[in-house]
Structure 1
Amino acid sequence: MEFDAFTDVLDYPLYVVTAAAGKRHSGCLVGFASQCSIAPPRFVVWVSKANHTHGVACEASHLGVHVLDGRDRDLAELFGSLTGDDVDKFERVAWHRHGTGLPILDRIRTWFIGGIVSRFDGGDHTGFLLSPVDASAAVAGRSPLLSFSDVQGLPPGHPA
């Protein structure tokens, strides 16, 4: 199909999305995400329904969105190739708990927390519409963002 050829030329930036609900926390690699409104500010992230993080995100009130840059391929591998069904990814990385209860990756300096405004079905992914409530943005000396083309060949923790 021509749509596949269209999407093959796109090189989306990658994010680690974190979620917390009750005593559970989770995180996954996400490539489908975008700012979708200026006023009010809104951002949407799409989480695969096959992903462990999906179940936690469906019960969460907020999500954390961490921007990966070129130095973060190891984090992309950790959060994209392992599944929270089998391992606690947060045992393998430094992090702290935000006031909302969300895990924030210590190494990532550009992130935001968004309150979940709505959830909607997008097929094999669920869209989470977020309203920013807190953010940290480091811009000095930043390296290029990590994108799909940088992680080609990583085995997924779950099928997309």
Structure 2
Amino acid sequence: MGSEFDEVAAATDPAMVVVTTAVGGERAGCLVGFHSQSSIDPPRYAIWLSRANHTYGLALRAEYLAIHFLGEDQLPLSVRFGTLTGDRTDKFAGLAVEDGPGGVPVLTDVPRHLLVRRVALLDEGGDHVCLSTEPVAVRHGSGFVPLRLSACDELDPGHAHDDRRSRADAQGTVSEDPGAR
């Protein structure tokens, strides 16, 4: 079933986003292909982060995140946030960044983004964990054509999907309620 499932999933060719977050002055960001609106009323947006990513560990402790919708002309950002690891690299070096809520880094050269607050976490044991979020601010530009997964197929990720060396996993379970921290 694996290869057949992979073919069906790949045919959807999802838009790519960069998710950023910050906690205690530490910033992180990663390229994400698993994301979707998940409720109309109240508005919710879900993102699935790989356990292997540095961003995952920080996002578990963060209250706020930014979801940047990449345009088809922003492949270099997908390369930066999809192939480098925040364990060893400052992915934000040299980029235009402003602080959002909770110090979340907002990539100012990406005209479409959501600033969101984490409201729930779903961890059903897979290699990705779902964060349900509520939008607190929205920025959009015109003439948007999304960067698709098919344009990023040749990227080598900073961590393999089965690399679960996350610092957050080593720290144990994190509360689903960001206000409980």
Name the TM-score class by shorter chain: over 0.9
Q: Choose between structure 1 and 2: higher strand proportion.
A: 1
1:26-65 counterparts in 2 under 5 A? 26-65=28-67
In 2, Cα distance between the equivalents of 1:121 and 1:62? 19
Q: Say which SS state the counterpart of residue 68 (structure 2) adopts.
A: strand
Q: Give the whole-Å Cα distance in 1 for the aligned partners of 2:83 and 2:96.
A: 18
Give the partner amino acid of 2:39. Answer: S
Cα separation, 2, equivalents of 1:43 and 1:116: 9
Matches of residues 117-136 of structure 1 in structure 2 within 5 Å?
Answer: 117-122=119-124, 123-136=126-139
TM-score (norm 1): 0.95
1:150 aligns with 2:177: no
Deviations 1:97-129 (A, max 9, x none): 114310000100110111100011141111110
Mapping for residues 2-151 of structure 1, pairs under 5 Å = 2-122=4-124, 123-139=126-142, 141-142=143-144, 144-151=145-152
Q: Identity of counterpart residues, as a percentage?
A: 40
Q: Report the Cα distance in structure 2 between the residues aligned to 1:97 and 1:8, rounded to whole angstroms.
A: 34
| RMSD, aligned CA | 1.0
Give the SS at the match of 1:56. helix
Q: Quote the offset at 1:5 in angstroms.
A: 2.6
Per the TM alignment, residue 10 of structure 1 is displaced from its structure 2 partner at its CA by: 1.8
CA 99–116 in structure 1, closer or farther in 2 if over 3 Å, else same? closer
Paired with 2:136 and 2:12, the residues of 1 have a C-alpha distance of 29
- Contact 2:37/2:45 (8 A) holds in 1: yes
Write the distance in 2 (CA, Å) between the matches of 1:99 and 1:57.
Answer: 14
C-alpha separation in 2, matches of 1:93 and 1:53: 18
Give the distance between the partners of 2:62 and 2:133, measured in 1 at CA: 12
Partner of 2:177: none
Q: TM-score, normalization: structure 2?
A: 0.84
The number of residues matched between the two structures is 158
* SS at structure 1 position matched to 2:103: coil
State the partner residue of 2:169. Answer: none
More displaced, 46-55 or 1-10?
A: 1-10
| Runs of 5+ unmatched residues, structure 1 | none
Rounded to whole Å, the distance in 2 between the matches of 1:3 and 1:106 is 36
2:25 and 2:103 in contact (8 A); partners too? no
SS in 1 for 2:71: coil
